[in-house]
Amino acid sequence: MEHVRTNFMRVIVPMALLAAVMTLGLLFVSRPIASPQMAMEGHVEARAASVDMTHDAVSPQLHTSGIMSSGGAAGAELSVSTGATTAKSTSTEGSSATSATVTVTANDDMICEVREYRSPDPRRRVIDVPVATLWTKPGLARPMDAPTTGEQPNVRSWIESMRIPEKLWLVGKLETQALLGSEVMLLEEREEWSRVQLPDQPTSRWKDGYIGWLSSEQLATPFYDYSACPVASVVKRSVVLTEVPVAKQPSSSTGSSSSSSSSSNSNSNSNSNSNSNLSDLPTGLEISFNTRLPVVREQGGRLQLALPDGSTRWVQRDEVVLLTSKLEPASATVELEERRNKLMETAKQFVGLPYVWSGTSGFGFDCSGFTYSMYRALGISIPRDAKDQATSGQPVDLKRLEPGDLLFFAYENGKGRVHHVGMYIGNGQMIHSPRSERPLEIISIKQPEYAKELAGARRFLTES
């Protein structure tokens, strides 16, 4: 019996030791380390997988997500890309990037490198909501202004809900608005409010751009550098982004008239109906005209954009244009004519849009917010306010006006302070966002109300 026990131990003990060694070995086998980029990729893929794949959806295959470090080509001009696009890695002035890079490859022809980003300036922030409304002081918002505050503002419903007296109350209480992805500088924090400066909205009031207060929840800290990625700019009044690439929706039966005499109702309804199906999706995010976001992927007729909240969303390719450093016309004369035509086409789509004090979005403009935004869409930076626009650009003889020239109106029969601006569109007409009582419209410059206050004109489109 003792002999059997001894033989048994000789077999069992070595086997137990071997099993223990194998177990310990498994514990020390190297594993891939999940980077922040991989973690966010998994987060986005999980969220996309939970969405019902309807509307001829394509498998998402999301490759990256993150927060942009800058607005991209802020001074660039708009150009529709017609060929293959390859973005090369470039350095970002004033930024600090780690050596780790993530290559984003597309099914079609877009590639860009995303770098982890640590700004040397701790004040740097990015607008994290579709439209942020900046106030002159913290805490001024009325209960009815709640759609402009918090982390999920809805500027469209806010504007549509206000009557004329409620709109007039905003005068002097709002500063301006900033769009999703815009870079700002944090100046001060006070409870749930933050005071920020907007470098891309020049003004004589402050040296480095407009300043105002917004909800702190509407800001994000940039973690990734997308300077090597193409930048998409929204060209329609608004578009709806989705978490998964969905098929293009059929056009609304009401259509969209290109005529300058289109009524405000037909324009409004066309824009609203075109987005209604998509915005009903649980993952739909409506963003404004002129919003600029980096492109990380192209799939068929859709582009995947990186958002400041650490996610990615999809947009139809024909709803945006890509920004490049310059236009590529055959000659300066052709360039000027093409840019002028593009400016007129862009401006006229907003006929019928509500006026809102401080507005710079496709949901509502004030007079100078409209002209500022039209030129920004063309890649031309002009001052944010009418009084500053009136002293910029080149002075123009009122008898030699060209489409795109800005017209300025002043108190005291044109001799006093500038208080309004419109854009000349040819044939003795101008397009402008007049005031709270009237939507954006096209009128004759000889209309008595304006003719008597016409103070001068400035040109920002030139051949040079």
Catalytic residue among 63, 112, 229, 420: 420
Is 266 exposed, middle or buried, given 0-12, 13-18 or 19+ CB atoms closer than 10 A?
Answer: middle
Please indicate whether residue 367 is annotated as part of the active site. Answer: yes
Query: Do 425 and 347 meet the contact criterion of CB atoms below 8 Å apart?
Result: yes
- How far apart, in whole angstroms, are the C-alpha atoms of residue 233 and residue 81? 12
Collapse the DSSP code of 375 into the 3-class scheme (helix H, G, I; strand E, B; otherwise coil) and give the result: helix
Catalytic residue among 3, 43, 367, 419: 367
Instruction: Show Cβ contacts of residue 55 under 8 Å, excluding neighbours closer than 6 positions.
Output: 246, 247, 249, 277
Query: Do 240 and 331 meet the contact criterion of CB atoms below 8 Å apart?
Result: no
Query: Do 125 and 221 meet the contact criterion of CB atoms below 8 Å apart?
Result: yes
Collapse the DSSP code of 191 into the 3-class scheme (helix H, G, I; strand E, B; otherwise coil) and give the result: coil
- How far apart, in whole angstroms, are the C-alpha atoms of residue 114 and residue 165? 48
Mutual angle of helices 367-377 and 332-348, in 10-degree steps: 140
Is 363 exposed, middle or buried, given 0-12, 13-18 or 19+ CB atoms closer than 10 A?
Answer: buried
Please indicate whether residue 420 is annotated as part of the active site. Answer: yes
Kindly provide the b/e burial profile for residues 107-125, where b requires at least 16 CB atoms within 10 angstroms of the residue's own CB. Answer: eeebbbbbbbbebeeeebb
Please indicate whether residue 229 is annotated as part of the active site. Answer: no
Instruction: Enumerate the active-site residues.
Output: 367, 420, 432
